[in-house]
């Protein structure tokens, strides 16, 4: 029963699947996307928010490459805030509270209206192959859809299991059906699967909370959008609140640890280190008197409130008791219980940097299936998988982002080179080029790449060139302005800055930590009216000029290592001088370059020296 022939089939309609399907279709591929439920497309099954520290960078990079998450988030946010403003620009990160249902409708409509894309509700139970190469998928009803490439973006559905105390059942997130049969098909193809775990807090009724006992968390007055194309960013429409656990909360948890699915031995999967359950926090940080929790609306047309930081797998009676122990939640009513969820995922070291499986040509992985956590990490991988599947089918060179290109490059390189033993979460500390990979310059870094592969229009690319020209012109102008002590010192003294004794260029004053572009306006009589994005980028480039040049030099040195390619037929068992562990790791991961080899856990600098010598001798 063959019901269709396509170029690309995408399994899953979450954040990875949506980006993959849109990218492939926009690059001219006849594409089909399958979702277990069309009502789960673009779902936010855990926190109804997008962005956050490092994650906001990913969203802006997805947008800069031509992805959809940033635009959909701008159209559905109810509160927006720039995090880490008190720190340097490298860690400024946009975060938006999202109206969950609006985001779903936005993403579903964009998928439905996309040319070259069909959306179908079905569970995929098997991957079809011909001579070891992907040739299609089969659904739970036995229908076959032929395709030249398949992208697995199964999220937490793959053999999903919900756990609440001693209770468990096979389920996807939010009570959706799980995908139980696809795992066996993947194993038959030689793909290694593992069990990971994540969880979510309870949802409580808004009218049962006492907001007078909570700290209000307002959004920013000046909204910065995720998408570089959003001209009217909208406004904040909702508030969030901050509350804290206390010793009573912690005692309830400690007294009932044996009833937790995690501590009671029910959980097999490995959970995320950087987003632990509340019982895990209480055990691991036993000396901490309290933990912060954020009470956040799920949307404008619902009474459900999400209690961020209160994820648990404790039974429902304990959940109610510990939630009501928190000030402001004394009379709360739980609408949806918290739960843990286990699911199957792959070993990402079995993937190329294109996210194609090494063992199965034409099969790609993206999102939580690759061992990551988070909507933003999923969207980034889905976009890369969709682009590379299309480029391969068109016979074009793949899009491989390097670590110095963006957080997306760092994310994928970490996964395919180092692997992960727990759900991987992007953080700014994972990148050695943080000052280069700021969210404000994501378009400068990646939009030319998006234009080259075909996802960025000529109009948008030209708009970027105009912006960069304005940034360059403003930097040049500021560097050519000289101010005298008579004019500058009153301003400097008012700002607590050291007075000057002779003339100084305005750019040198902007570099002072206590001064900025805005505070020096009265020293700059002919300052032009410029867009905020131009001013922001010009100021950062002036203020951090020396540091940026240093990181650019480091990135260039690293790129030279990436250009020293290792032949595909390299037999590491035959290279004299390599340690046994290095041979095993190199044979399994098959790095493309000396640079990638140097980042493999278990491959030492001495092993890299041996590899370089071997490459030189091979040339001779």
DSSP letters along 294-320, please? EEEES-TT--EEEEET----S-HHHHH
- For residue 267, what pLDDT band results from cuts at 50, 70 and 90? confident
Three-class SS of residue 208? helix
Greatest distance between any 2 Cα atoms in the chain? 85
What is the C-alpha separation between 255 and 570, in angstroms, rounded? 57
| pLDDT(337) > 90 | yes
Beta-bridged to residue 100, according to DSSP, are none
Structural domains in the chain plus CATH codes? 2-198+342-427 (3.50.50.60), 203-340 (2.40.30.260), 458-554 (1.10.10.1800), 563-619 (1.10.150.570)
Q: Say how many CA atoms lie within 13 Å of 459 toward its Cβ.
A: 2
Apex CA 119: angle with CA 193 and CA 14, to 5°? Answer: 45
Q: What is the token pair recorded at 61?
A: 């990079």
What pLDDT, in 10s, does the model give residues 293-336? Answer: 999 999 999 999 999 999 999 999 999 999 999 999 999 999 99
Contacts of 491 (CB under 8 A, 6+ apart): 519, 520, 522, 523
Q: If we measure between CA atoms, which residue out of 403, 411, 429, 424 comes closest to residue 561? A: 403
What is the C-alpha separation between 502 and 563, in angstroms, rounded? 48
What is the C-alpha separation between 196 and 269, in angstroms, rounded? 4
Q: What kind and span of H or E run contains 110?
A: helix 100-112
Q: What is the token pair recorded at 70?
A: 């940033």
CB 441 within 8 A of CB 464: no
What is the C-alpha separation between 314 and 312, in angstroms, rounded? 6
| pLDDT(38) > 80 | yes
The packing angle between helices 316-323 and 247-255, to 10°, is 170
- Ranges of beta strands (E only) in 84-202 are 93-98, 117-121, 124-130, 133-139, 144-152, 161-164, 167-170, 193-200
What is the C-alpha separation between 124 and 38, in angstroms, rounded? 14
Q: If we measure between CA atoms, which residue out of 6, 7, 5, 13 comes closest to residue 382? A: 13
| pLDDT(272) > 90 | no
Across 150-157, average pLDDT: 97
Q: If we measure between CA atoms, which residue out of 444, 44, 70, 19 comes closest to residue 225? A: 70
- For residue 264, what pLDDT band results from cuts at 50, 70 and 90? confident
| pLDDT(271) > 80 | no
Write down the residue that tokens 């304005």 correspond to: 470
What pLDDT, in 10s, does the model give residues 347-382? Answer: 999 999 999 999 999 999 999 999 999 999 999 999
pLDDT (0 to 100) of residue 155: 96
Residue 482 φ then ψ, to 5°: -110, 135
| pLDDT(262) > 90 | no
Q: Distance from first CA to last CA of the chain, Å, rounded?
A: 57
Q: What pTM value is reported for the model?
A: 0.95
CB 487 within 8 A of CB 523: yes
What pLDDT, in 10s, does the model give residues 403-421? Answer: 999 999 999 999 999 999 9
Phi-psi bin for 12: left (phi > 0), alpha (psi -120 to 50), beta?
A: left
Contacts of 350 (CB under 8 A, 6+ apart): 191, 192, 357, 358, 359
Residue 422 φ then ψ, to 5°: -155, 165
- Cα 378 to the center of its chain, rounded Å: 6
What is the C-alpha separation between 35 and 155, in angstroms, rounded? 11
CB 163 within 8 A of CB 394: no
Contacts of 287 (CB under 8 A, 6+ apart): none
What pLDDT, in 10s, does the model give residues 177-210? Answer: 999 999 999 999 999 999 999 999 999 999 999 9
- Of 251-255, 265-269, 529-533, which range is least confident? 265-269
> How many other C-beta atoms are found inside a 10 Å radius of the C-beta of residue 83?
17
pLDDT (0 to 100) of residue 275: 77
Contacts of 46 (CB under 8 A, 6+ apart): 173, 198, 200
What is the C-alpha separation between 210 and 333, in angstroms, rounded? 12
Q: If we measure between CA atoms, which residue out of 131, 126, 260, 110 comes closest to residue 199? A: 260
Contacts of 255 (CB under 8 A, 6+ apart): none
Apex CA 265: angle with CA 264 and CA 270, to 5°? Answer: 120
Q: If we measure between CA atoms, which residue out of 123, 56, 153 comes closest to residue 367? A: 153
Write down the residue that tokens 């960069």 correspond to: 468
| pLDDT(143) > 90 | yes
What is the C-alpha separation between 343 and 517, in angstroms, rounded? 50
- For residue 14, what pLDDT band results from cuts at 50, 70 and 90? very high
What is the C-alpha separation between 596 and 594, in angstroms, rounded? 6
CB 84 within 8 A of CB 94: no
What is the C-alpha separation between 605 and 89, in angstroms, rounded? 33
Write down the residue that tokens 């956040």 correspond to: 296
Q: How many helices (H) and strands (E) does the chain have?
A: 19, 22
* DSSP result, 442-509: HHHHHHHHHHHHTSS-HHHHHHHHHHHHHHHHHHHHHHT-EE-HHHHHHHHHHTT----SS-EEHHHH
């Amino acid at each position: 029963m063959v019901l269709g022939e396509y170029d690309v089939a995408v399994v899953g309609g979450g954040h990875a699947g949506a980006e993959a399907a849109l990218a492939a279709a926009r690059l001219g591929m006849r594409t089909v996307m399958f979702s277990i439920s069309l009502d789960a497309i673009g779902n936010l099954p855990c926190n109804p928010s997008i962005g956050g520290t490092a994650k906001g960078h990913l969203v802006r990079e997805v947008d800069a490459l031509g992805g959809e998450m940033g635009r959909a988030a701008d159209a559905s946010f109810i509160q927006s805030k720039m995090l880490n403003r008190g720190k340097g620009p490298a860690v400024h990160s946009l975060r938006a509270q999202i109206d969950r249902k609006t985001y779903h409708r936005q993403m579903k409509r964009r998928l439905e209206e996309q040319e070259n894309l069909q959306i179908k509700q079905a569970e995929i139970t098997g991957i079809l192959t011909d001579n070891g190469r992907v040739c299609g998928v089969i659904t739970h009803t036995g229908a076959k859809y032929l395709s030249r490439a398949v992208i697995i973006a199964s999220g937490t559905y793959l053999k999903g299991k919900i756990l609440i105390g001693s209770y468990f059942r096979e389920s996807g997130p939010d009570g959706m059906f799980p995908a139980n049969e696809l795992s066996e098909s993947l194993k038959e193809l030689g793909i290694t699967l593992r069990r990971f775990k994540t969880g979510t807090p309870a949802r409580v009724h808004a009218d049962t909370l006492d907001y007078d006992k909570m700290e209000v968390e307002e959004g920013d007055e000046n909204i910065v959008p995720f998408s570089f194309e959003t001209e009217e960013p909208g406004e904040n429409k909702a508030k969030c609140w901050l509350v804290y656990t206390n010793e009573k909360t912690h005692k309830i948890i400690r007294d009932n640890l044996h009833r937790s699915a995690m501590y009671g031995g029910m959980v097999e999967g490995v959970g995320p280190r950087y987003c632990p359950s509340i019982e895990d926090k209480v055990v691991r940080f036993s000396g901490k008197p309290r933990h912060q929790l954020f009470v956040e609306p799920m949307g404008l047309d619902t009474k459900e409130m999400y209690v961020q930081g209160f994820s648990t797998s404790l039974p429902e009676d304990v959940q109610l008791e510990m939630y009501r122990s928190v000030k402001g939640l004394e009379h709360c009513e739980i609408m949806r219980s918290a739960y843990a969820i286990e699911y199957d995922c792959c070993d990402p070291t079995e993937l190329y940097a294109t996210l194609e499986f090494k063992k199965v040509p034409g099969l790609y992985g993206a999102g939580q299936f690759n061992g990551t956590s988070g909507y933003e990490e999923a969207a980034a991988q889905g976009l890369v998988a969709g682009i590379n599947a299309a480029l391969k089918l068109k016979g074009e060179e793949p899009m491989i982002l390097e670590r110095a290109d963006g957080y997306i490059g760092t994310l994928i390189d970490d996964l395919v080179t180092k692997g992960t033993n727990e759900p991987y979460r992007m953080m700014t500390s994972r990148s050695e080029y943080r000052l280069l990979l700021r969210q404000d310059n994501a378009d400068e870094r990646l939009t030319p790449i998006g234009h080259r592969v075909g996802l960025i229009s000529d109009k948008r690319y030209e708009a970027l060139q105009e912006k960069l020209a304005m940034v360059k012109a403003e930097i040049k102008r500021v560097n050519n302005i000289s101010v005298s002590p008579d004019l500058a010192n009153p301003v400097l003294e008012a700002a607590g800055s050291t007075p000057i004794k002779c003339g100084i260029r305005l750019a040198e004053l902007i570099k002072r930590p206590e001064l900025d572009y805005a505070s020096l306006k009265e020293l700059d009589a002919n300052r032009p009216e410029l867009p905020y994005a131009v001013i922001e980028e010009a100021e950062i480039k002036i203020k951090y000029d020396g540091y940026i040049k240093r990181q650019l030099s480091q990135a260039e040195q690293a790129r030279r290592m990436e250009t020293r390619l290792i032949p595909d037929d390299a037999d590491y068992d035959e290279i004299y001088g390599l340690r046994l562990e290095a041979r095993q790791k190199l044979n399994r991961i098959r790095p493309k370059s000396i640079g990638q080899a140097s980042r493999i856990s278990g491959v030492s600098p001495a092993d890299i020296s041996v590899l370089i010598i071997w490459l030189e001798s091979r040339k001779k």
